[in-house]
């Protein structure tokens, strides 16, 4: 029989014919619209399709837009609260699922914590809408608390994953040594576990902040009148008229997101 398999040569997808070309095409289709948007954010004219010169006009216009300021501030408040709460809950959940012996149903607990990642966001949004509608009917409260709770629930798994990964990569020797030296569980956590876990917590908080800041679907379903965030405000403007001001806001939001995600990867690499 003829043998067509060459010995000593392992399979590598990068060495397959057409892989590089396909990867380049994918990156072009993915990033060309983003770069186009960024370029036209600096357009002097009112058109989003005809270049009329380089200018900071639309960034200045967005900065002077009172509605943009209000929605941006609201987005920052919601994202800060949601990331803080979700990171606290995620840290406790990560400790509970890693610093304990295996128990029956541990896999189910892990799946429930990460449920928002597996279920379509529209399903989570509709479920929260129905649940909050019942609370609004019973209490009459229509404040920002619903958005904070909704964003927190959605952001928990995003904060949980890097924190859990950091905990699983930590050596238990120092924590065991602290316990042998009669340190209480709280003192062990405060003086040993928390300092070692801090990069994972910061990374999880930053990731949760970005997810909350960029969210549209859940916010659009849960928010009440006058509670637009920056992404939902932009969506409303796109339905009316598209101006380069939206490009400028999108570029600024993209810059913030890229910066935070870059810091997230740097912290993750350092923690490893």
Residues 6+ apart with CB under 8 A from 243: 46, 48, 58, 237
Tell me the pTM. 0.80
pLDDT digits (tens, 9 = 90+) for 60-97: 888 888 888 899 899 999 999 999 999 999 999 888 88
pLDDT at residue 117 greater than cutoff 90: no
Residue 174 corresponds to which tokens in the numbers above? 């120092």
Residue with tokens 């990033």: 31
Q: How far, in Å, CA of 230 to CA of 13, rounded?
A: 41
Average pLDDT over residues 126-138: 91
pLDDT digits (tens, 9 = 90+) for 159-217: 998 898 888 887 778 888 887 788 888 888 888 888 888 888 988 898 899 899 888 89
What H or E segment, with its residue span, contains residue 32? helix 19-40
pLDDT at residue 149 greater than cutoff 80: yes
| Complete DSSP assignment for 242-254 | --HHHHHHHHHHH
DSSP 56: S
CB 124 within 8 Å of CB 149: no
Q: How far, in Å, CA of 244 to CA of 48, rounded?
A: 6
Count Cβ atoms within 10 A of the Cβ of residue 245 and give its class: 0-12 exposed, 13-18 middle, 19 or more buried: buried
Residue 140 corresponds to which tokens in the numbers above? 């009459």
Q: Which residues pair with 3 in a beta bridge?
A: none
Q: Which of 132, 80, 81, 125 is nearest to 220 (CA)?
A: 125
Residue 237, number of CB atoms within 10 A of its CB = 16
CB 61 within 8 Å of CB 248: yes
Domains of the chain: 59-271 (1.10.3720.10)
Residue-level pLDDT at 1:
45
DSSP 215: -
Phi first, then psi: what are they for 43, rounded to 5°? -75, 140
CB 90 within 8 Å of CB 163: yes
């Amino acid at each position: 029989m003829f043998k067509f398999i060459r010995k000593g040569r392992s399979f590598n997808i990068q060495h397959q014919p057409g892989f590089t070309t396909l990867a380049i095409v994918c990156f072009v289709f993915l990033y060309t619209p983003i770069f186009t948007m960024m370029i036209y954010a600096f357009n002097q004219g009112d058109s989003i399709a005809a270049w009329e010169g380089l200018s900071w006009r639309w960034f200045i216009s967005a900065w002077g837009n009172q509605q943009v300021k209000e929605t941006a501030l609201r987005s920052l408040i919601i994202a800060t609260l949601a990331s803080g709460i979700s990171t606290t809950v995620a840290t406790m959940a990560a400790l509970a699922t890693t610093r304990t012996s295996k128990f029956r149903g541990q896999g189910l607990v892990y799946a429930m914590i990460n449920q928002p990642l597996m279920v379509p966001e529209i399903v989570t949004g509709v479920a929260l809408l129905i649940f909050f509608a019942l609370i609004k009917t019973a209490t009459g409260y229509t404040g920002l608390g619903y958005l904070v709770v909704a964003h927190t629930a959605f952001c928990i798994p995003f904060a949980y994953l890097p924190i859990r990964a950091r905990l699983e990569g930590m050596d238990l020797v120092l924590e065991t040594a602290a316990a042998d030296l009669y340190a209480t569980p709280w003192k062990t956590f405060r003086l040993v576990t928390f300092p070692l876990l801090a990069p994972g917590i910061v990374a999880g908080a930053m990731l949760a902040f970005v997810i909350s800041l960029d969210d549209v679907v859940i916010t659009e379903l849960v928010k009440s009148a006058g509670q637009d965030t920056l992404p939902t405000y932009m969506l409303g403007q796109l339905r009316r008229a598209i101006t380069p001001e939206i490009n400028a806001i999108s570029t600024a939001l993209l810059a913030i997101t890229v910066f935070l995600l870059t810091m997230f990867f740097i912290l993750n690499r350092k923690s490893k």
